[in-house]
């Protein structure tokens, strides 16, 4: 095992990933390489990571706290992305559960949004160092295409290839009036995606989310969602033909370095 050969990450939460993930998906070609990995970061002890092999590739995964917690989750997210940067992860897929705003969506649908609205956050979260982030095309089109393709290959459920995610990390739950305010502007809402997408860009990694529309307070079956994620990681190249890396380089050029003219 060499952690530095880990190109892929799956960052979910306790709502979507079971403690047995990914072995509970029953997919072939998987093996747990390391488990219960905790890292010391400048922001405190990281959440628990698991490393697994999927065919010839290495994937790191962790379960962040799920649900609409009242406590601020930003430190946990920062610790997790610090680890992903140290490991050198290039492609990050984030499965999650959301509430549907668009009336065409039904519980059990899967949606891969292409954009987001970050409603006023609790706090701004970045890793140390200068960062001028360009958030154009922040959700990697190549990762998104692969997630759509993998979803359609399963032949189950409805897969939506676009949509807008309203990120509501400041409030534990949307009121009916808040939901109707978002109608026409966003298709889904949840507590994920930001600040994760900013941190992924700071890393220069590709990032895309794939979300299951939950139905009220009923328990959700995330098996299809997790199967889509595994299929996408299996099919993706470690280095893509997308612009994510070029945009990261562009950002580096823009950062003022002391001593330079």
Contact residues toward Zn ion (CB under 5 A) are 140, 206, 240, 242, 244
Query: In this complex, which beta carbon is closest to Zn ion, that of residue 121 or of residue 240?
Result: 240
Beta strands in the chain (DSSP E): 8-13, 30-37, 40-41, 44-45, 49-54, 57-64, 91-100, 110-111, 115-118, 159-160, 164-167, 188-190, 206-213
The helices-and-strands tally (H runs, E runs) of the chain is: 6, 13
Give the nearest distance from C-beta 141 to Zn ion in angstroms.
Answer: 7
Minimum CB separation of residue 137 from Zn ion in Å reads 9
Q: Minimum distance from CB of 102 to Zn ion (Å)?
A: 26
Between 159 and 197, CB nearer to Zn ion: 197
CB of 125 to Zn ion, least distance (A): 21
Give the nearer residue to Zn ion in terms of CB position, either 188 or 208. Answer: 208
Minimum CB distance to Zn ion smaller for 225 or for 244 = 244
SS3 215: coil
Strand 40-41 vs strand 8-13: parallel, antiparallel, or unpaired?
unpaired
**Nearest of 11, 17, 187 to residue 98 by alpha carbon:** 187
């Amino acid at each position: 095992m060499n952690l530095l050969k880990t190109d892929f990450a799956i960052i979910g939460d306790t709502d979507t990933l079971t403690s047995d993930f990914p072995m509970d998906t029953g997919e072939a070609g998987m093996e747990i390489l390391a488990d219960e990995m905790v890292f010391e970061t400048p922001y405190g002890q990281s959440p628990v990571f698991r490393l697994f092999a999927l065919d010839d590739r290495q994937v790191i995964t962790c379960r962040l706290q799920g649900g609409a917690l009242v406590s601020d989750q930003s430190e946990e997210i920062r610790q997790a992305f610090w680890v992903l940067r140290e490991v050198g992860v290039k492609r990050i897929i984030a499965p999650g559960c959301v509430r549907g705003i668009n009336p065409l969506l039904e519980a059990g649908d899967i949606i891969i949004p292409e954009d987001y609205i970050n409603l006023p956050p609790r706090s701004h979260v970045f890793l140390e160092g200068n960062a001028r982030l360009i958030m154009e095309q922040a959700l990697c089109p190549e990762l998104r295409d692969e997630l759509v393709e993998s979803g359609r290959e399963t032949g189950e459920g409805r897969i939506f290839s676009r949509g807008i995610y309203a990120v509501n990390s400041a409030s534990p739950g949307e009121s009916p009036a808040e939901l109707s305010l978002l109608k026409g502007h966003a298709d889904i809402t949840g507590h994920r995606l930001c600040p994760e997408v900013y941190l992924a860009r700071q890393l220069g990694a590709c990032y895309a989310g794939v979300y299951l529309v939950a139905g009220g307070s009923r328990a959700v079956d995330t098996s299809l969602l997790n199967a889509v994620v595994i299929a996408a990681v299996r099919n993706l190249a470690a280095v893509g033909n997308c612009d994510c890396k070029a945009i990261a380089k562009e950002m580096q050029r823009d950062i003022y370095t002391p001593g330079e003219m």
